[in-house]
Amino acid sequence: MSLPNCPKCNSEYTYEDGVLLVCPECAYEWEPGQEVEEDGVVAIDANGNRLENGDTVTVIKDLKVKGAPKDIKQGTRVKNIRIVEGDHNIDCKIDGFGAMKLKSEFVKKI
């Protein structure tokens, strides 16, 4: 299996570290399926749709929240998301929970 080149510096020496791919030359880390463009990270939802800042998404499964008395339920709508770099690549506010970071693989674009 050949790994893709680094999306930032195009190095061919990428390696796997758990679920992330890592570039030893520029120290960039990304998830497979996560694309990088000139303006930053591009997040892909569970259906393969590209997510952008300001989108509204729906949670596709119950998510346990460490330290919270209840879970985020399937079908919860999250408005005005912001795409950030990292494994939890969606930054948002969820009614009843407050500020939260989510993984794009657990949401779908509306």
pLDDT attached to residue 104: 92
What is the DSSP-derived secondary structure letter of residue 54?
Answer: T
Mean pLDDT score, 57-68:
92
| Confidence band of 48 (pLDDT split at 50, 70, 90) | confident
* Domains with residue ranges and CATH for the chain: 1-35 (2.20.25.10), 41-107 (2.30.30.40)
pLDDT of residue 6: 84
pTM comes to 0.64
Whether the CB-CB separation of 108 and 55 falls below 8 Å is answered with: no
Amino acid 34: pLDDT: 64
Other beta carbons within 10 Å of 4: 11
Contact 104, 89 (CB under 8 A): yes
Work out the percent of the chain whose per-residue pLDDT is above 70: 92
54: left (phi over 0), alpha (psi -120 to 50) or beta: left
Determine which helix (DSSP H) or strand (DSSP E) holds 100, and give its type and residue range: strand 98-102
Q: In this model, does residue 91 exceed pLDDT 70?
A: yes
- State residue 67's pLDDT score: 86
What is the reported pLDDT for 35?
Answer: 57
